[in-house]
Amino acid sequence: MEDVIFSEALPMLLADATARNAFHPDETIMTIFSPGSPHVNNSVTATAKVPEPARILHDDAEAIAVATALAEEFAPGAADRDRDRRLPFAELDLFSQSGLWGMTVPRVYGGAEVSYVTVAKVFSIIASADASIAQIAQNHISLLDIVRVDPDETRKGRYFQAALEGFRFGNALSEKGGKTIFDMQTRLLRQDGGFVVKGQKFYCTGALFAHIVPVYAIDEAGKGNLFLVPRDAPGLTVIDDWDGVGQRTTASGTVIVDNVAVTESQIVPSYLAFERPTVHGPVAQIIQAAIDLGIAQRAIKETAAFIRTKARPWVDSGRDHASEDVYSLEAIADLTIRLHAAEAVLEGGGELIDAGLLDETEETVANASIAVAEAKVLTTEISLLAGEKLFELGGSRSALAAYNFSHLWRDARTHTLHDPVRWKYHAIGNFYLNGVKPPRHSWL
């Protein structure tokens, strides 16, 4: 790997003269907001300063310890941030400077190369504090696995170095107008000896907070590529118009790509992650499952605390305390058993991803995909159930706006829509009954 600092190498990376100044430390990004929605924050300005050097993690234990410390910082304000839709700029600075956004960078490139068992634990820990903050980092970590399969060592080294330095990668991948998620209209076109990208994206979690935005576009050969452009590149507009019922502070809105100029050095051939067997699908999915698991962990913790300190025993129970109610005991036991099952299956999925990374074959990748799909079923179900049971067991008082417990269920319901569990059952059943390997994409 070249011994190069990303912030110093950026002018080489961005040969287009109009983009060379994108990362000047004092530059402020002007963000366009949708003024018509009460859910949209119309007063915030995003900045994309070159970050201070991020912490370099050394091993898995350090990553978990750092995540645990961050969760203690993030958890107290999560309900208020959701209520006010206060976007977590300061929290994300802490998060990306902690070194966790570079935790999967291979050791040969200077990273800790933590296991995916650890990645899942880190995301569940952060999500148990604030699921929106965890989701903002999801696409960044997933992208680093796409960079892993890039055959261009120079480009790979630069983007791994960027992650280690604390640069945040966003997301402009999905679109909402096509027949399916694979019906993409954004195109890469040749122009004046270079390339331009034109299209419109939605569900762009992380783009508003990013230094670099990966844009998914189809090239002239019909293949999908990621084009990594500066957050404030001319022609790239981020619109904060996300008004989902949950994950309210992810700013998962629109990105308009209006003839954004890119160079060959910014093009990552993401299609290579699916032309041969790779574990990228289960890598993307295990992070999603871990976020749902974290929501469930927090909801069950809040439920138990509320029963012990604020809920009243039902009049017919004959008990002095709600924590002695026989039906509450049964419900807490059921939730905990389901949670422990989800945790165990998720850990097993991480182990199979780690094994697959050592030898990516049709068999190892399929095994990892199915294991993570099983985990995703369990984490989806427990996150939704835990959010609902919080109110049932807490009683009417738990529904008061002062607690804002609804954000846990809303976050779970919104985040679990990302990839339908009903199709996880299809893939799992078809694998075990008919020996059919799951399809290769980011949703399995």
Q: What's the pLDDT tens digit per position in 261-299? A: 999 999 999 999 999 999 999 999 999 999 999 999 999
Residue boundaries of the structural domains of the chain: 6-165, 187-270, 276-434
> Whole-number mean pLDDT of the chain?
90
Q: How confident is the model at residue 48 (pLDDT cuts 50, 70, 90)?
A: low
Hey, what CATH topology would domain 276-434 get? Butyryl-CoA Dehydrogenase, subunit A; domain 3 (1.20.140)
CB atoms within 10 A of CB 378: 23
What is the distance between the alpha carbons of residues 214 and 403, in angstroms, rounded to a whole number? 37
pLDDT at 328 over 60: yes
Greater confidence, 13 or 305? Answer: 305
For the whole model, what pTM was predicted? 0.91
So what's the pLDDT on residue 182? 84
Task: Look at residue 51 in the predicted model and tell me its pLDDT.
Answer: 76
Of 286, 418, 305, 391, the residue nearest 75 (C-alpha): 305
Structure confidence at residue 159 (pLDDT)? 97
Q: Is the pLDDT of residue 20 over 60?
A: no
pLDDT of residue 24: 31
Band the pLDDT of 443: cuts 50, 70, 90.
confident
Q: What class is the 187-270 domain?
A: mainly beta
pLDDT band at 23 (very low <50, low <70, confident <90, very high): very low
Mean pLDDT value of segment 425-441: 97
Q: Quick: pLDDT tens for 105-131.
A: 999 999 999 999 999 999 999 999 999
pLDDT, tens digit (0-9, with 9 covering 90-100), for 61-111: 999 999 999 999 999 999 999 999 999 999 999 999 999 999 999 999 999
User: Quick check: 39 pLDDT over 80?
Assistant: no
Pick the range with the lowest mean pLDDT from 29-38, 227-236, 252-261: 29-38
Mean pLDDT over residues 366-394, rounded? Answer: 98
- What average pLDDT does this structure show over 22-37? 34
Grouping H, G, I as helix, E, B as strand and the rest as coil, residue 333 is helix
Whether the per-residue pLDDT at 7 is higher than 90: the answer is no
For 274, counting Cβ atoms within 10 Å of its Cβ (0-12 exposed, 13-18 middle, 19+ buried), the class is middle
* Strands (DSSP E) found in 133-235: 187-191, 194-201, 212-218, 224-230
pLDDT score, position 197:
94
What is the CATH topology of the domain spanning 6-165? Butyryl-Coa Dehydrogenase, subunit A; domain 1 (1.10.540)
Of residues 356 and 183, more confidently modeled: 356
> Which region, left, alpha or beta, applies to residue 220 given φ > 0 means left and ψ of -120 to 50 means alpha?
alpha
Residues 6+ apart with CB under 8 A from 280: 142, 145, 146, 149, 273, 274, 442
The pLDDT value recorded for residue 49 is 64
At 45, is the pLDDT very low, low, confident or very high (cuts 50, 70, 90)? very low
Q: What is the pLDDT of residues 367-380, one digit of tens each?
A: 999 999 999 999 99
Give the tens place of pLDDT for each residue, 181-219: 888 899 999 988 889 999 999 999 999 999 999 999 999
Q: What pLDDT is attached to residue 50?
A: 67
> Alpha-carbon distance 262 to 195, whole Å?
5
229 backbone φψ class: left, alpha, beta (φ>0; ψ -120 to 50): beta
Residue 381 neighbours by CB distance under 10 Å: 18
Residue carrying structure tokens 């809040």: 302
